[in-house]
């Protein structure tokens, strides 16, 4: 019998399914701390958890452990890397909680608009403050949705009954796909300037930390509302704090630095606060429990790897090429601009890499689309692309080119004027070092893509390098390395600088104007 430990308040459906299936001994105990349960059951084969922290210490105490299932989408409470080191698969149940979060957004909006919480307390206290509690109607308002994954799309679906104008922003989804969802595509700036309500549904990444900052908050209409049921850190709460009273903004919040008792850092600015209840519904709990049990059985009996989030690489494929695929795709995405929708991804895997195209696509996609986790598999990658209307083509590599074990990645993005523009990069691994051989029409570059890099594209002429170097020096930025290839056909040059400090957007624009360049892009790999 395989022992399954469920140390959490999960719906009994998981235990019932596993027991009914046979072959599993289930221990479900939500009262005893996980540390004590682990000591009592060192022969545990599988763990099914919710928000419990599965640390390296916990993993090391379970020598028989083969699987950890997170009954939910996020899995940052699990040490996935240490789990892989121990040969433990980590699975999650994406989508099981989505509707619960989407409905919470609607509930928060209505509760705030009609003063439900305050009115209940006031009336119970014997008061009759009807005149002071004039509310607002959701019907006919403009709602902006930032992030159009499962939850964002469900929010839009639920809002349609209120006859709203729905604006949507997702840098990964082409505008025609957004329109197919019944949502009006818009930029972040347009959403924050026009919406009465802005609801956030993006993961917390480097690119989204502080996303809702001074500029966007400052553009909001007086009396507008921000709803954050996504992740703590997406909203720059100091920026909100600075103008909230003046602009009479509302802030409805369900996320915190830590899910635990104690003072909350945003209590002074949150008009409604919930203890991270988005997925806390009987239905979501039941769905996650069923999915968790089914995924464990499918993994054991069918070898179904679709939901493994800390996948390993197959024998014969060097990890360095997974890293190369990720680096190249990250680079080409940053050069293209990370806020423009991707319409097409094309790859060519040369030499011995061709058989591993499906595995490498995951690394490619996670570099281009930061919300797609690198530990997913090909099936998840294909579904992700399909959901966002992004076409993928794995081209037949031309072996006559003599590129050896190389990777080429092309992406086509939708410009603001709806035209498509393509960007390309090719690279390889030489003596264990990643090397970029080509970017667009510039070949034989042979530079290592690491650290802070500035790319300047301009018409070839004397004096440009000196102008760029002077602007960088004036900003206190040192050049550590550089390349300056020319293309005789296009009569353009590409200056590539490795720097010791990041380049601000304003400095990049200043350099672009000074050299009359086509583009000036700073990347960090």
Q: What is the CATH number of the domain that holds 392?
A: 3.30.1330.90
DSSP state of 337: -
Residue 276 a catalytic site member: yes
Residue 338 a catalytic site member: no
Could you count the other beta carbons within 10 Å of the beta carbon of residue 399? 10
Q: What is the DSSP string of 343-359?
A: EEEEEEE-GGGGGGHHH
In a domain, 375, yes or no: yes
Number of domains within the chain: 4
> Of 427, 450, 473, which marks where a domain is finished?
450
The pLDDT tens digits for 290-314 are 999 999 999 999 877 767 888 777 7
344 with 290, same domain: the answer is no
Could you count the other beta carbons within 10 Å of the beta carbon of residue 40? 12
Decide if 99 contacts 284 (C-beta within 8 A).
yes
6 with 44, same domain: the answer is yes
Which residues of the chain are modeled with pLDDT < 50?
none
Task: Give the CATH number, domain containing residue 146.
Answer: 3.40.50.720
Query: What value, to the nearest 5°, has the Cα angle with vertex 47 and ends 42 and 51?
Result: 120
Structure tokens at 77: 């409470």
Contacts of 468 (CB under 8 A, 6+ apart): 454, 456, 495, 497, 511, 514, 515
In a domain, 334, yes or no: yes
232 with 292, same domain: the answer is no
In a domain, 308, yes or no: no
Q: Which of 20, 124, 246, 263 is catalytic?
A: 263
Q: Which of 276, 370, 388, 483 is catalytic?
A: 276
pTM to 2 decimals?
0.71
458 with 441, same domain: the answer is no
Decide if 248 contacts 196 (C-beta within 8 A).
no
In a domain, 127, yes or no: yes
Q: Is the dihedral of CA 207, 210, 215, 219 positive or negative?
A: positive
CA of 508: how far to CAs of 297, 474, 478, 479, 486, in Å? 53, 13, 15, 15, 21
Range of the domain at 10: 2-96+282-302
Task: Give the CATH number, domain containing residue 499.
Answer: 3.30.70.260
268 with 354, same domain: the answer is no
CA of 465: how far to CAs of 290, 472, 484, 493, in Å? 61, 11, 9, 10
291 with 322, same domain: the answer is no
The pLDDT tens digits for 487-520 are 988 999 999 999 999 999 899 999 999 999 998 9
The per-residue pLDDT for 95 is 81
In a domain, 307, yes or no: no
264 with 413, same domain: the answer is no
Q: Which of 150, 177, 231, 250 is catalytic?
A: 231
> Of 404, 435, 450, which marks where a domain is finished?
450
391 with 322, same domain: the answer is yes
Query: What value, to the nearest 5°, has the Cα angle with vertex 332 and ends 216 and 499?
Result: 80
Q: How many helices (H) and strands (E) does the chain have?
A: 17, 22
416 with 269, same domain: the answer is no
334 with 384, same domain: the answer is yes
In a domain, 309, yes or no: no
417 with 433, same domain: the answer is yes
Structure tokens at 410: 């092309």
Residue 114 a catalytic site member: no
341 with 445, same domain: the answer is yes
Distance of alpha carbon 477 from alpha carbon 507, whole angstroms: 11
3-state secondary structure string, 78-93?
ECHHHHHHCCCEEEEC
Distance of alpha carbon 130 from alpha carbon 396, whole angstroms: 71
Q: Which residue has the tokens 């929010």?
A: 155
């Amino acid at each position: 019998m395989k022992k399954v430990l469920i140390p959490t308040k999960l719906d009994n459906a998981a235990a019932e399914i596993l027991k009914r299936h046979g072959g599993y001994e289930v221990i479900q105990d939500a009262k005893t701390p996980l540390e004590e349960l682990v000591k009592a059951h060192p022969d545990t084969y599988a763990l099914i958890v919710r928000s419990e922290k599965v640390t390296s210490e916990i993993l090391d105490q379970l020598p028989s452990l083969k699987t950890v299932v997170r009954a939910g989408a996020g899995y940052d409470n699990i040490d996935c890397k240490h789990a892989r080191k121990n040969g433990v698969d980590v699975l999650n149940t994406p989508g099981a909680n989505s509707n619960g979060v989407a409905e919470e957004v609607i509930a928060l909006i209505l509760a705030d608009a009609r003063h439900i919480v305050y009115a209940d307390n006031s009336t119970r206290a014997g008061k009759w403050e009807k005149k002071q509690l004039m509310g607002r109607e959701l019907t006919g308002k403009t709602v902006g949705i930032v992030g159009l994954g499962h939850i964002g799309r469900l929010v839009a679906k639920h809002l349609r009954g209120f006859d709203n104008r729905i604006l949507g922003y997702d840098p990964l989804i082409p505008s025609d796909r957004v329109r197919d969802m019944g949502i009006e595509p818009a930029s972040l700036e347009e959403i924050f300037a026009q919406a009465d309500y802005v609801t956030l549904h993006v993961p917390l990444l480097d690119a989204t930390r502080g996303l809702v900052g001074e500029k966007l908050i400052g553009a909001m209409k007086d009396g507008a509302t921000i709803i954050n049921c996504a992740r703590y850190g997406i909203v720059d709460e100091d920026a909100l704090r600075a103008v909230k009273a003046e602009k009479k903004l509302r802030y409805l919040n369900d996320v915190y630095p830590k899910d635990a008792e104690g003072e909350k850092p945003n209590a002074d600015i949150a008009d409604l606060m919930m203890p991270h209840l988005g997925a806390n519904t009987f239905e979501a709990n039941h769905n996650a429990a069923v999915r968790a049990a089914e995924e464990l059985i499918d993994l054991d009996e069918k070898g179904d790897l679709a939901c493994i989030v800390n996948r390993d690489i197959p024998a014969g494929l060097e990890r360095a090429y997974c890293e190369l695929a990720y680096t190249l795709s990250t680079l080409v995405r940053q050069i293209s601009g990370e806020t423009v929708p991707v319409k097409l991804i094309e790859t060519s895997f040369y030499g011995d890499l061709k058989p591993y195209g499906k595995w490498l696509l995951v690394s490619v996609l996670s570099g281009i689309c930061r919300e797609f986790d690198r530990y997913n598999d090909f099936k998840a990658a294909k579904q992700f692309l399909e959901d966002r209307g992004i076409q993928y083509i794995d081209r037949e590599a031309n072996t006559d080119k003599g590129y050896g074990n190389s990777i080429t990645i092309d992406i086509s993005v939708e410009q603001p004027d709806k035209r498509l523009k393509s960007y390309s990069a090719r690279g390889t691994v030489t003596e264990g070092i990643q090397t970029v051989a080509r970017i667009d029409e510039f070949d034989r570059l042979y530079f290592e893509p690491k650290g802070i890099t500035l790319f300047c594209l301009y018409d070839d002429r004397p004096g440009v390098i000196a102008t760029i170097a002077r602007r960088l020096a004036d900003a206190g930025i040192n050049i550590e390395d550089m390349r300056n290839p020319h293309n005789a056909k296009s009569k353009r040059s590409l200056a590539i600088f490795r720097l010791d400090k990041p380049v601000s957007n304003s400095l990049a624009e200043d350099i672009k104007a000074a050299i009359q360049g086509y583009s000036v892009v700073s990347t960090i790999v």
